[in-house]
Amino acid sequence: MTYLDRLVDEFVNYLIVEKGLAKNTIESYSRDLVLYLEFLKENRVQKPTEADTPLILEHLISLRDSGLSAKSRARHLVTLRVFYQFLVNDNLLKTNPARLIELPKGGLKLPDVLPVEEVLRLLETPDTTKPIGKRDSAMLELLYAAGLRVSELIAIPVQYVNLEAGFVRVMGKGSKERIVPIGETARQKTDLYLKDVRHLFLKGKESRYLFITRSGTPMTRQAFWKLLKRYAVAAGITRRITPHTLRHSFASHLLEGGADLRSVQLMLGHADITTTQIYTHVAQSQLKIIHTKYHPRG
């Protein structure tokens, strides 16, 4: 009997003796676990104790992409939570990596994300030979580069963008401030907008906001949504897209590229206490390295 066979047998015995689960539930858990172990093998992970939260997330995303329903994915996540807790109880692991993944009511709903190629096509759509295109290009790049909420994007003051250092200060939910790297492409396009366009829109007026309309007023959520939808159509993206789609894509693409989950969560600025408890202190310089290394536009 191999190590994995023995582990599965011990887990099933744990479900019967300690959890007292019904036969059908145990069979479902067993199928879920076998499917997960096959995924680990395909990814050259020899032992489940070597897997981490991003890899579990990748597995759940692969299940979604294969057509598995949200309800079935939720059950699958429950299986992995119970399995990893079994490993913790046996002192094979210190913490349960599956517990870091939230299980919403009504089933596991993974956010919709765009493939990298679709995002890049969208970002290249604005006509940067025109002032409005330069502004729109900078807004789209910054939204994706920093994983911003649309409310955060339109509220950024000019002085909160440090193009030389490559960071943007963001005021998130609950007035929580965070500093996020933005990458070279976003730096260049924002700099071009600031140098060539913003003063034209202001027409001698003043504004504390980075992004403004052609009349010099602050950009609104509704106006940005409209321009995003227009560019999505022009880019040939047929699925429904919102500003939050780019935020989800930002996180997903970083994780798929190999970034660690804690750094991504820190860049996103999640405020939920169950999420913030798993944060570790990451220096700004390290965040910049992670962003540059793993972000498609870094």
281 flagged as catalytic: no
Q: Which helix (H) or strand (E) holds 75?
A: helix 70-89
Judging by beta carbons within 10 Å of its beta carbon (0-12, 13-18, 19+), is residue 156 exposed, middle or buried?
buried
Of all helices (H) and strands (E), which one includes residue 58?
helix 53-65
- Residue 255: half-sphere exposure toward Cβ, Cα within 13 Å: 25
The one catalytic residue among 221, 229, 244, 262: 244
H-helix or E-strand containing 161? strand 161-162
Active site residue 248: no
253 catalytically annotated: no
Catalytic-role residue among 76, 81, 135, 247: 247
Catalytic annotation present for 244:
yes
Q: Is 149 a catalytic residue?
A: yes
Question: Is 173 marked active-site?
Answer: yes
| Single-letter amino acid code for the residue at 108 | L
Which entry of 59, 75, 149, 198 is annotated as an active-site residue?
149
Catalytic residue among 76, 187, 270, 288: 270
Name the catalytic one among 6, 19, 47, 173. Answer: 173
- What is the chain's Cα-based Rg? 22
Q: Residue 288 corresponds to which tokens in the numbers above?
A: 């910049």
Compute CA distances 257 → 100, 117, 195, 290, whole Å.
19, 14, 33, 10
Give the catalytic positions in this structure: 149, 173, 244, 247, 270, 279
